[in-house]
Structure 1
Amino acid sequence: MNATQKSFPLGINLPQQAAGQVVNILPTGDVIVEYQQRGWQCRVAISCLLSPQVGDEVLICGDDSQRLWVLAVLSRSDEQQTVTLSVPGNLCIAPQGELTLHSAEQVSIDSQSVQITAQQSDCHIAHMRYSGDELTAWVNVACLLGRRVEALWKTVVQISQRVLRKVEQAEHVRVGQLDCQARDYVRLHARNTIITSQAITKVDSEQIHMG
């Protein structure tokens, strides 16, 4: 009977702490780091918020469980490459003081949903453009101040219990057809009143008082 031969892996001393270069990123999220002409498979530690990219110089460290971890990204060969902060779960930034985001060029937010809650908000934008499919706003009091407003709509529907409009100089209305209906009474008063018509002018009532 042939004796069974057992094979044992060669002992490899894992680096306790060293700097290496990322040469590959696996689909599982692990990275291959080249150190001392050998490729080491490392997991990315949660403390390493900066996602490693191929070519980065990273700090790796081994633990007692024979696992290697990427602790930090030390340098990046391509400084123009986008820097990504990545965490496996949710991320909460909670400073005790103020939080300021500053960018020399542009700030972009891309998400399925954005929720903002604050007691008070101040927004100053020199030029603003908004585009979307639907806009809904619920406010108790709305105040708009400006020098000029222009609105172009296909259909305008306005429902209110009371409307007060005051024009200091002149108001011009140009419509195809004008239909005004009041449930109680209509009052037109001016120093001079002119009513003209090209075809027919009709006044119909049970009583007509003139003079």
Structure 2
Amino acid sequence: MPLLSIGSPAMKTTAHHPVRRATAAPRSARPIDADPAPPAGPPERCWTALLEAGRNGTLCVRQGAQVAAVRTAAGCLLVPAAGDTVLCFGTAPGDIWVLSVLERCAGTQERVLRCSGDTRLVVEGGQLALEADQLHLASHRLGVRAATATVSLDSTEFIGERVRMIAGTVKLVGSLLSTVVDRVNHFSQHYLRTTKGLDRVNAAHIECDATELLHLRGEHALINGAKLVKTRGAQIHFG
């Protein structure tokens, strides 16, 4: 029970309460020293946005009332265009990257895959197939190297200013060979030709020149000259 004491003229009251002893906190409740927090860096976030055409052909995205220019990441092979829905990544205010193109509106320009610098496509342990209704190759210089090549075409048209072919063996097999040229130059060590049917030459002037021997042989030999038949030699033998 509290005690009440009364003193001299001024009344004084003193109250006594039980004393509470401090108890030790349980070990589980004691604070644990945490690792220091890393320093705060620039804000990083990803979001989707609609690309807009800016000045001088640049691409921009709208953030509220502001318009910020964007840069294309190296992993985004499809070239972004105005009107595309893209995935953006911001590392700092005003520093926005386009990671990928999510959707392209129908009717926009063609899709272009672009890489900067030397690029090499490598397929290990498999095959690479390209399929398209139309396939175009445009290059200043084209090189193809393979141990074996097979080309199967229904119709082929080749147009070139100069053609040079070097091969150990060339073989052409077909039902019809037609050539139209202004001039034909042929040089060979040996020239052998076999024709089972008709071998006919039509020309304004035919000249055969043999340095050693000219041999014409047949079961029947006919020489017709409308105006003149002339034979000249040191010796002429008939029969």
Q: TM-score, normalised by structure 2?
A: 0.77
Q: How far is 1:34 from its partner?
A: 2.5
1:137 maps to: 165
- Between the aligned residues of both structures, percent identity stands at 23
Q: Is the 8 A contact 1:21 1:35 kept in 2?
A: no
2:45 maps to: 16
Residue 134 of structure 2 is aligned to residue 112 of structure 1: no
Q: Is the 8 A contact 1:32 1:40 kept in 2?
A: yes
Q: How far is 1:39 from its partner?
A: 2.0
Q: Which aligned pairs between 1:120-135 and structure 2 lie closer than 5 A? A: 120-135=148-163
Aligned pairs, how many?
A: 197
1:83 maps to: 111
Report the residue type matching 1:59 in the other structure: L
Q: Which aligned pairs between 1:169-188 and structure 2 lie closer than 5 A? A: 169-188=197-216
Secondary structure of 1:32's partner? strand
For the residues of structure 1 that align with 2:160 and 2:135, how far apart are their CA atoms? 19
For the residues of structure 2 that align with 1:14 and 1:34, how far apart are their CA atoms? 18
Question: Which structure's CA Rg is the greater one?
Answer: 2
Cα deviation code 1:131-155 (max 9, x no counterpart): 1211111111000000001101111
Moved segments of 4+, more than 3 Å: 35-38
Secondary structure of 2:50's partner? strand
Point out which structure has higher relative CO (alpha carbons under 8 A, 6+ apart). Answer: 1
Match of 1:146 among 174, 195, 198: 174
Give the direction of change, closer, same or farther, for the CA distance of 1:80–1:42 in structure 2 (3 Å limit). Answer: closer
Cα deviation code 1:6-57 (max 9, x no counterpart): xxxxxxx966100001102565x85212244542222100000000001000
Q: Which aligned pairs between 1:1-211 and structure 2 lie closer than 5 A? A: 16-24=45-53, 27=56, 31-63=59-91, 67-78=95-106, 81-96=109-124, 97-103=126-132, 105-211=133-239
Q: TM-score, normalised by structure 1?
A: 0.87
Q: Is the 8 A contact 1:57 1:75 kept in 2?
A: yes
For the residues of structure 2 that align with 1:146 and 1:80, how far apart are their CA atoms? 47
For the residues of structure 1 that align with 2:182 and 2:217, how far apart are their CA atoms? 32
Secondary structure of 2:195's partner? coil
- Structure 1: segments with no counterpart, 5+ residues: 1-12
For the residues of structure 1 that align with 2:54 and 2:135, how far apart are their CA atoms? 28
* RMSD, aligned CA: 2.0
For the residues of structure 2 that align with 1:157 and 1:144, how far apart are their CA atoms? 19
Q: How far is 1:118 from its partner?
A: 1.1
